[in-house]
Amino acid sequence: MAWQLDTAHTEIQFRVRHMMVSWVRGSFENFSADLHLDEAHPENSTVEVKVDAASINTRQADRDAHLRSPDFLDAEKYPQLVFRSKRVQRTGENTAKLIGDLTIRDVTREITLDVTYEGKAPSPFGPFVTAGFSIRGKLNRKDWGLTWNAAIETGGVLVGDEVHISIEAEVMQPVEKTAAQTA
């Protein structure tokens, strides 16, 4: 059944090593999703997420401009990052592996995300049921051609290769009224 992504209560975040001694954290501010969730059979669920590459935000304007440039996302030429699910594998009562294709800069690679279903509840803001998911994953940015880096004097490089992904997603579905409720 189709669900809507509640973008006001969803965050797509990432972190990557900086100078090999600390982490830079960031997020994407603009995104959309096409969600078909099958609660009885989660393995039949499908997800497609489109992320606006130019909406990257690390709270530092110069770094964000560099991340939008051809050295990294090349947001002008490749305006979207796209994830399309291929399959869902249940791993527990409220957990699953979400396997799909991630496309960045016209390079498509399969990734696996760990998903935890956090539960659902009726929304106090309208006739909706709301559900929550926590999603985690890792990828090597070089697999998508994001190879820019700079050596640092003390050894190592400026930007780590491994990118950690963290998504907190809230989705909602209108509650269908029964004939008894509308009478």
Inform me whether the pLDDT recorded for 129 exceeds 70.
Answer: yes
Nearest alpha-carbon partner for 43 in 83, 99, 123: 99
Instruction: Report pLDDT digits (tens) over 151-171.
Output: 998 888 999 999 999 999 999
Handedness of CA 126, 39, 93, 27 (dihedral sign): negative
The phi and psi torsions of 82 (rounded to 5 degrees) equal: -130, 130
Helix residue spans in the chain (DSSP H): 61-68, 179-182
Could you give all domains of the chain from N- to C-terminal order, each with its CATH number? 2-182 (2.40.128.110)
Instruction: Enter the pTM of the model.
Output: 0.90
Q: Residue 153: helix, strand or coil by DSSP? A: coil
CA distance 10 to 73: 22
Taking residues 50-69, report their average pLDDT: 97
Instruction: Report pLDDT digits (tens) over 3-42.
Output: 999 999 999 999 999 998 999 999 999 999 999 998 889 9
Instruction: Report pLDDT digits (tens) over 79-117.
Output: 999 999 999 999 999 999 999 999 999 999 999 999 999
Helices and strands (H, E) in the chain, number of each type: 2, 11
